[in-house]
Structure 1
Amino acid sequence: MSGFKLQRGDRLVLATHNKGKLDEFRDMLADFGLDIVSAGELGLPEPEETGTSFVENARLKAHAVAKATGQIALSDDSGIAVDALDGAPGVYTADWAGVPRNFQMAMQKVQDLLIEKGATAPDQRKAQFNAVLCLARPDGTDMIFEGISPGTLVWPPVGERGHGYDPMFMPDGHQKTFGQMSAEEKHAWAPGREGLSHRARAFSKFVRDVL
């Protein structure tokens, strides 16, 4: 799939049922003139995420949607990996929030585990957000784009913006959490500038290679 390019007017199916992710992608893709629809809006079932890595789960989701629709699909698998918790929750980031999703509960779980480990100082509370994008075609080919945003976990959570674990994650070099940042602050990117969030950094590679 090397050299593959999307053109203005092309349909791109976002392989997500997560409104937060959908809103972020629509913001980032707004200037490219693509016809964007989500798997949720099409009423497609959510595939079971059985992968043990972000790449495996991203591929699983994108190919399921590309096959079901006969269209080009873009998936995202992302999560937070906490150093003191040996990389957990990782691919189980959303699972820690239960069903229905309760990220206040998930953030409290992370905090409780960090306290159990005695991880109270900032240098003991390092974490990174990871994002993997997979662009899949109905013929089974794909492209992978990865982004990482390192930071520190704060407590109590601060900010009402973003989603998921954003209110407890302060990216390196900043004094605000993702939960305090506007979408523009968190995701802003430009050619030659990778952006701040994990998703923006993966997205900048996607734009460079595909748009």
Structure 2
Amino acid sequence: MRVPLSWLREYVDVELSPKSLAERLTLLGMEVQGLERWGADWQNVVIGELVSVEKHPRADRLSLVRVTVGSGEPLDIVCGATNIAAGQRVPVALPGAILPGDRRIEQTEKMGVVSKGMLCSGDELRLTSDADGILILPADTPLGVPLAELYGDLVLDIDVKPNRGDALSIVGLAREVAAVTGAELRFPATEPDEAGGAVAERLMVEVEDSGLC
């Protein structure tokens, strides 16, 4: 079971260091097999906004995209994705960037046009399994901020035993952390959807013999 620390903290205040938390959980019988720094391999990847998207002058299946990353001159980047449009905010790997798998991004020439970086898909960042298009971020995503600052996290790889099915959820795991640390557990707010009239208007219960109850 892979648990992002930020998600766990939505339900319980974790004051322990990640290493100490892993040791406590292991003592509870839920062995933490590893700690992974999610986003550590997004080096020199920042949030950019597409200023314009035009057809590549020499290739029908490529686009020439102008991108701003909040500072400096806009960058011209050649892209083959079809799901992009002006105004979108996307992850941009700048020249010198390193992506998962030790993939290095440099300034290159593609069909006679210099491409100063790369727009990233979710699959290339290992954020999603979608490799068909660029990862489109919310419109209010801060411009120029490193992707690792927004989506980076520490992930615990926990071996939850078959007899602890109650801990096979974020809330269940948060309950265990609260019990061992004394921190307050915050349950998610739940409110069922109501439909129709009040039950009392449609159903009446009469107790004929309260002594038998």
TM range (shorter): under 0.3
Looking at secondary structure, tell me which structure has more strand per residue.
Answer: 2
The TM-score with structure 1 as length reference comes to 0.26
Q: Identify which of structures 1 and 2 has the higher relative contact order when contacts are C-alpha pairs closer than 8 Å and 6+ apart.
A: 2
